[in-house]
Amino acid sequence: MLVKTRGIVLKFIKYRETSIIVNIYTEFLGLQSYIVNGVRSSRSKKSKIALYQPLTLLDLVVYYRESSNLQRLSESKCSQPFSTIPLDPKKTAIALFIVEILSKTLKEQVENQDLFNFIWNSITRFDASDFPAENFHLIFIIKLTRYLGFSPGSSVEIRNELKDSLDHQWLQAEESKLLDQMLACDYLNVPKLTNQQRTGILNIILSFYQLHVEQFGVVKSVKVLNQVFS
């Protein structure tokens, strides 16, 4: 059957000589994989492959078969072209980080409109706003835990959960205060952080994810973030 839905591109891999398989988190079908033919051929317009770059926001009409792990697209167009993310190195690095987090945490092939709307609205706000980018990813992954089902209530809760498995990481008094503020704040009212504080809190939050998300593993894009913000 045909389904009209919005989608957020996560990543694609090359398939055969001219095609790709792209993972898209959709509004009504959850995480789906689509085969897109001909976008890498010499006859294809460059704009076609641009539609499937990470975090691109799409309006889609898709073929859906419940029994299939690989779906097909009927129509695909960019819903909201980015104006700042591709041009700002800091925002580009954060976008790659967000894509990696989403790729590790979005697994279900079912509708979750609250989760979808949170991600979609966060991305559009990030691209359109002129607030400092440095801490956006921290607030994003903190807020994301609420939709994934393991939102921490306080820094004390995080410390208690981490102490048994990661006893080398401890939340000092200053970090605890900052983290409690961040658990309660929005994108616009983030407390000021030094690069060292930002890195420390990010590592703590990612450790919290590792406890709650199966096979979460290492987030490779953290190295890029550290280089950009150093």
Could you say which of 78, 101, 116 is where a domain stops?
78
CB 214 within 8 A of CB 92: no
For residues 173 and 197, membership in a common domain is answered with yes
Q: Note the pLDDT of residue 176.
A: 86
Nearest to 5 by CA among 53, 70, 57, 50: 57
Query: pLDDT above 70 covers what percent of the chain?
Result: 93
Residue 132 CA from chain centroid, whole number? 18
Total domains present in the chain: 2
Report how far residue 7's alpha carbon sits from residue 149's, in angstroms, rounded to the nearest whole number: 22
Residue 164 pLDDT more than 80?
no
Measured CA to CA in angstroms, residue 226 lies from 8, 81, 208, 220, 221 at distances of 26, 27, 19, 11, 9
Report how far residue 99's alpha carbon sits from residue 123's, in angstroms, rounded to the nearest whole number: 11
* pLDDT tens readout for residues 199-208: 989 999 999 9
Q: What CATH code is carried by the domain that includes residue 213?
A: 1.20.1440
Residue 42 pLDDT more than 70?
no
- Tell me what the mean pLDDT of segment 11-17 comes to: 91
Q: Is residue 83 part of a domain?
A: no
Both tokens of residue 38? Answer: 């001909």
Could you say which of 78, 97, 119 is where a domain stops?
78
For residues 19 and 125, membership in a common domain is answered with no
Q: Whole-model pTM above 0.85?
A: yes
* pLDDT tens readout for residues 75-110: 999 999 999 999 999 999 999 999 999 999 999 999
Q: Note the pLDDT of residue 43.
A: 64
